Amino acid sequence: MCAGESVGMGFGHAWQPEVAARSSSAVVPRDVSVSQPDRLVMKRRNRLSRSRDFDAVYRQGHSTATRYLVLYSFPREDGDGEGPRLGLAVSRQLGGAVERNRLKRRLRAAFDELPGELSADTDYVLIARPGLGEAVEGHGFPWLVERVDEVFRKERS
């Protein structure tokens, strides 16, 4: 008998786990939406994802820092009118992949909560400093929104 064959079947076919049970569509019917329609979510085109974009912001932009966050900003020359773009840098010092991704989701959501006073043709890179994850867990999401707003206000002044 080969590894992966079930005992007692006798057909020689490998046992296949039920894949549909792991997908989200098996839990929620397709016609039911689990997203919040009244909230705006940052679109992918409004994110920095290429390393050359990050490098341009780091090298040519200017930085502003607070206790928990560092913000780099750089005005784009192309003026495409897509709005501000945000890149996030969360170090491994802040935890494992699950904690880092959770913090990135929260930072994006906090960025979405900012007033519309941001320059439309600017790239931003927000760097999380050690201790931010624990502070967010202790103080909550509204506290994080205040910290993100604080670093953006400091950058504008």
**Counted domains in the chain:** 1
Examine residue 59 and state whether it is found in any structural domain, yes or no: yes
Left if phi > 0, otherwise alpha if psi is -120 to 50, otherwise beta: which for 79?
left
Alpha helices in the chain (DSSP H): 24-27, 51-60, 97-112, 132-139, 141-156
Examine residue 13 and state whether it is found in any structural domain, yes or no: no
Examine residue 113 and state whether it is found in any structural domain, yes or no: yes
Examine residue 90 and state whether it is found in any structural domain, yes or no: yes
Examine residue 93 and state whether it is found in any structural domain, yes or no: yes
Residue numbers of the domain that contains 91: 44-156
CATH number at residue 136: 3.30.230.10
Examine residue 38 and state whether it is found in any structural domain, yes or no: no
Q: What is the mean pLDDT of each run of 10 residues along the chain (157 residues)?
A: 50 50 47 44 71 89 95 83 87 95 95 83 93 95 96 90
